[in-house]
C-alpha cells in the first residue's frame, strides 16, 4: 500500500486510489468466490441486463441517450470511480442480502475509503490526528462480545472517518496520511475506548461522473456524518458497520442509502470542555 502526498483533491485523484485498492483485493476480509458457476452467471448477469433492457423499453431511450451512457461509463473508468459509483448506488443492496444470514450487531456498507496498514493502537486509544485537529472532541467506547454474551478479549476495532471538513485522509490532499484512522485492540474484557473528533457530513466528489450523474438527476450528493468500523475477532464473522449522529440533516437521505435507525448515536457532553461521548457495544457471530 503506498500513500503518496497528493497535490490536488479531485474525483480522479480519489477515484484512482480507490480503484487501485479494489483491484489489489486488499479488503481480503470479505473476498471470496472465484469460480463462477455457469447457471449462476447466466441468471445473475441475465437479470442485470434485463433490468437495463426493460428500462430502455419502458423509458423509450434514444440513441442520443445511449451514446451519453457510453461516454459516462467510459468517464467512470477514466476517473477510477467504479468503486465510488458501485458503493454509493449498489452496495447497500448487497449488504441487505448479506444481512439476511448474519446475526449480531447491525451492519452496513464498507464504502470505498477503507485503507489497509493503519496505526495499530491499544485501548484506550487516541486516533492519529494533527496538533490542531479541528472539530468536537469525541469519545466512542463500548464492549465487543459474542452472540452468547462472551466478552471477546483481543477483538479489534478498525475505525476511519472524515475530519471536521468532510475529508478522508489518503483520498484528499488536506489531511495527512493516516489521519483519523486506526486499528484499536480491545482490552481483556473486549472493551474499547477511542478518542477522536466528530466527523462532518460528506458529499461525494461533484467533479466526477458519479457526482455529475447525481446532480443531473437532482438527487442529493450528501452522506450524513458517519464513522466507519470493522469489528473483528478470531473465529468470528467480521462486522462491517457505520455509526451516524442524531439530528444530522442528511439522515434518511443518504446518497449511499447506508444509514439505518439502529446505527444512530446520541452523544452526550462529558463536561470536559466541549467533548462528547457515545457508548456502543458490538456483538459478533461465531464463524460458521
Ligand atoms: C463515503 O464516505 C462512503 O462511506 C460511501 C459508502 C460512499 C461514498 C463516500
Ligand atoms: Fe464514508
Ligand 1 atom at minimum distance from 228 CA: 4
pLDDT for the residue numbered 288:
81
Closest CA to 236 of 288, 179, 168: 288
CA–CA dist 143, 281 (Å, integer): 5
pLDDT at 7: 37
- Banded pLDDT at 6 (limits 50, 70, 90): very low
Angle at 70 between CA 67 and CA 75, to 5 degrees: 130
Tell me, rounded to whole angstroms, the distance of Cα 205 from its chain centroid.
Answer: 15
The predicted pLDDT at position 3 comes to 36
Q: How far apart are CA 102 and CA 176, in angstroms?
A: 36
The string of DSSP codes covering 158-206 is: EEEE--TTSPPBTTBSSSPTTTTEEEEEP-TTSEEEEEEE----EE--S
pLDDT tens, residue by residue, 225-265: 999 999 999 999 999 999 999 999 999 999 999 999 999 99
Q: Output the residue whose Cα is nearest ligand 1's atom 4.
A: 111
Model pTM score? 0.92
Q: What residues line ligand 1, using a CB cutoff of 6 Å? A: 84, 87-88, 109, 111-113, 202, 204, 223, 256, 258
Per-residue pLDDT reduced to its tens digit, 65-89:
999 999 999 999 999 999 999 999 9
CA of 229 to the centre of ligand 1 (A): 12
Amino acid at each position: 500500500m503506498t500513500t503518496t502526498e497528493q497535490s490536488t483533491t479531485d474525483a480522479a485523484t480519489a477515484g484512482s486510489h480507490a480503484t487501485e485498492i479494489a483491484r489489489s483485493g486488499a479488503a481480503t476480509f470479505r473476498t471470496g468466490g472465484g469460480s463462477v458457476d455457469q447457471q449462476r452467471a447466466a441468471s445473475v448477469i441475465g437479470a442485470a441486463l434485463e433490468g437495463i433492457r426493460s428500462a430502455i423499453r419502458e423509458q423509450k431511450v434514444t440513441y442520443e441517450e445511449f451514446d451519453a451512457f457510453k461516454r459516462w461509463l467510459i468517464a467512470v473508468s477514466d476517473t477510477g470511480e467504479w468503486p465510488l459509483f458501485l458503493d454509493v448506488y449498489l452496495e447497500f443492496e448487497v449488504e441487505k442480502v448479506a444481512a439476511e444470514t448474519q446475526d449480531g450487531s447491525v451492519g452496513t456498507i464498507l464504502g470505498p475509503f477503507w485503507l489497509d496498514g493503519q496505526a495499530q493502537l491499544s485501548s484506550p486509544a487516541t486516533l492519529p490526528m494533527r496538533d490542531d485537529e479541528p472539530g468536537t472532541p469525541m469519545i466512542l467506547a463500548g464492549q465487543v462480545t459474542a452472540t452468547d454474551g462472551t466478552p471477546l478479549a483481543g477483538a479489534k476495532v478498525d475505525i476511519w472517518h472524515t475530519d471536521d471538513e468532510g475529508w478522508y485522509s489518503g483520498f484528499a490532499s488536506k489531511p495527512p496520511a493516516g489521519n483519523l484512522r486506526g486499528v484499536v485492540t480491545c482490552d481483556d474484557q473486549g472493551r474499547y475506548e477511542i478518542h477522536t473528533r466528530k466527523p462532518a457530513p460528506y458529499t461525494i466528489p461533484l467533479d466526477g461522473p458519479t457526482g455529475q450523474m447525481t446532480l443531473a438527476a437532482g438527487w442529493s450528493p450528501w452522506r450524513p456524518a458517519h464513522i466507519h468500523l470493522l469489528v473483528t475477532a478470531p473465529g468470528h464473522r467480521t462486522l462491517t458497520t457505520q455509526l451516524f449522529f442524531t439530528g444530522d440533516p442528511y439522515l434518511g437521505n443518504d446518497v449511499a442509502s447506508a444509514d439505518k435507525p439502529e446505527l444512530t448515536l446520541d452523544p452526550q457532553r462529558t463536561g470536559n470542555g466541549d467533548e462528547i461521548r457515545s457508548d456502543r457495544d458490538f456483538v459478533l457471530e461465531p464463524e460458521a
